[in-house]
Structure 1
């Protein structure tokens, strides 16, 4: 077995540039997923039946169909249906944001339901408006409970982001593919790409642990 890491040294900037693309893509998708997921979770626990049915159907569809199919639908079908030429990065952020929201909605809903009902009853008895009660009392407590699950979803988002390479986004995986095509080497670029993903995930995990410890100390 012969390895030729020396032959891809000049091409490594392609991989390093892909890191910023991956991080930007993941951050934007996570923000969309968290905001929309929070809205969906609040809809799920509401008493307005049509909205509840919509949220249930939404989560069922996005959790029950392959992510890659969703990505292809948004990227290839959007120009056909709307006439708008969506960019690969836009399609990826939109797809992953909408998909992640379906999972985050269930995570947040579970966290909200795990909060002691006495908290709500006390807030109602004090005349605290529903919105203030939810965002100032219930959600902060729920967030402490669901933080590990949210971190796991973020980690999954980082790893699944490699799928955007299939529509031409120059992320880490796509950079490795470009290097493979230029050098005819497969192991070297892909093992480095895997190492980069691993380091990113470990950094995120470490930051999440520090945040979790700080939140525990604040209790």
Structure 2
């Protein structure tokens, strides 16, 4: 996923700023203040927490993927390939998740990532646009509404095997309780955003390995 080809929202270089999204005459200080207010209102947190999360992401924008540990996770794995094949298949089967209730999962406990990377654009998206699916273009841009994209990467698509049940599953953060560890199966960027904001809990669905 790519950011705009014009000046990125996080860049200090204002030449070529996309006037369709932002006022090029807006000062950098005013812009960052506006972004802090945006995050605070979207998440119901104070502006200090919003500013801390924003600064954390700004320091990493344009530098590629980062380690989950840098966003608050206790550990990370190269992939969920540490699961046996039949377990991996069940983890991505909607029937295993969609009938289970969503609960508030404490962030004041060790959380383990089942992927080895976090994309700052993905975290920015969840800071600015919580609850919405990411856009194919301009991901994470606070001034770009994700619903502008007609063709999102995970739209219902019979050819790719993505059904409405899959979309419902993808829309919720999924956790696996495994060997006394709580592991994030999907929704790492949502969890990372909530941890950066200092939230006490994050909504998600928890399944115990024995129930797969």
Q: Is TM more than 0.5 here?
A: no
Using CA pairs below 8 Å that are at least 6 residues apart, which structure has the higher relative contact order? 1
Report the TM-score, using the length of structure 1 for normalisation.
Answer: 0.23
Report the TM-score, using the length of structure 2 for normalisation.
Answer: 0.24
Please identify which structure carries the higher strand content: 2
Please identify which structure carries the higher helix content: 1
